[in-house]
């Protein structure tokens, strides 16, 4: 079975992409990253990709902070299509995905979110969970739709909230769970178990 071609989009430090790359290098994941894209010029995922010779692109969006303008998103779609990516993997991409991208890759964009959705969508979900006083949170991989963290859930992993947890300690433990969950879900796509 040929490797699944993925493009990765991220805005942050890139630890999820690092976990995916580690799983590939360990031979656990028949996936080939064909493009890494970021709206942040010095984002971790770009450095990781450059070091491995994976093509990169910087999305330049001066107009909006929470989404891309239609024009900029259309240009990104062209680059994603030209890369041959079969699945678009959001790994800490902090903008909403809009119609040109959603329409170009129907049910082929996935995201990881640091809570057990549908609880705590949006920003700093770990902090939301602490503030709410719940005992259990976690992370979720889901298909991306036009809502904010509302798409169909593919996989989840639970993380207990411990006495004395701070936002930082809790987020760190959730990230450990993310680094297991995302490669596991990608392996299901790579085995063509998911549509
Ligand atoms: C991850 O915890 C991810 O769940 C979160 O951003 C972090 C990125 O970390 N994403 C969201 O909150 C999206 N709503 P990383 O850059 O180290 O992979």
Chain segment 52-109, per-residue pLDDT in tens: 999 999 999 989 999 999 999 999 999 999 999 999 999 999 999 999 999 999 999 9
Q: What Å distances lie between residue 152 and 34, 90, 117, CA to CA?
A: 25, 15, 10
| Percent of the residues in the chain that have a pLDDT greater than 90, as a whole number | 97
Best residue for ligand 1 mutational test, from 114, 117, 127 (most atoms within 8 Å of Cβ): 114
112 lines ligand 1 (CB under 6 A): yes
Distance between CA atoms of 119 and 103, rounded to whole angstroms? 26
pLDDT at 153: 98
Distance between CA atoms of 105 and 5, rounded to whole angstroms? 13
Would you name the residues annotated as active-site residues?
Answer: 113
Residue 195: is its pLDDT beyond 80?
no
pLDDT at 112: 98
Q: Which overall architecture, per CATH, does domain 4-190 show?
A: 3-Layer(aba) Sandwich (3.40)
pLDDT, average across residues 174-180: 98
Query: Which residue is closest in CA terms to ligand 1's atom 3?
Result: 92
What are the residue boundaries of the structural domains of the chain, listed by start?
4-190
Confidence category of residue 2, pLDDT binned at 50, 70, 90:
confident
pLDDT, average across residues 122-135: 97
Distance between CA atoms of 127 and 174, rounded to whole angstroms? 11
Ligand 1 centroid – CA 113 distance (Å): 6
The strand pairing partners of 142, in sequence order, are: 111, 153
38 lines ligand 1 (CB under 6 A): no
Average pLDDT of the chain, as a whole number: 97
Residue 42: is its pLDDT beyond 90?
yes
Structural Rg of the chain based on CA atoms? 16
pLDDT at 1: 82
pLDDT, average across residues 166-178: 98
115 lines ligand 1 (CB under 6 A): no
Distance between CA atoms of 127 and 167, rounded to whole angstroms? 5
pLDDT at 191: 96
């Amino acid at each position: 079975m040929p490797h699944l071609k993925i493009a990765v989009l991220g805005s942050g430090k890139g630890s999820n992409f690092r976990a995916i790359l580690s799983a590939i290098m360990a031979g656990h994941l028949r996936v080939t990253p064909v493009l890494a894209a970021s709206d942040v010029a010095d984002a971790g995922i770009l450095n990781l990709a450059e070091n491995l010779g994976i093509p990169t692109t910087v999305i330049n969006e001066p107009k909006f902070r929470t989404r891309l303008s239609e024009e900029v998103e259309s240009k990104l779609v062209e680059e994603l299509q030209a890369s041959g990516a079969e699945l678009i993997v959001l790994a800490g991409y902090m903008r909403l995905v809009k119609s040109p991208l959603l329409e170009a890759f129907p049910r082929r964009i996935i995201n990881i979110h640091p809570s057990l959705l549908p609880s705590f969508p949006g920003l700093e979900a770990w902090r939301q969970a602490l503030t709410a006083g719940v005992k259990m949170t976690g992370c979720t991989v889901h298909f991306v739709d036009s809502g904010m963290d509302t798409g169909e859930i593919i996989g989840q992993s639970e993380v207990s909230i411990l006495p004395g947890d701070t936002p930082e300690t809790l987020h760190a433990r959730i990230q450990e769970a993310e680094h297991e969950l995302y490669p596991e879900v990608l392996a299901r796509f790579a085995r063509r178990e998911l549509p």
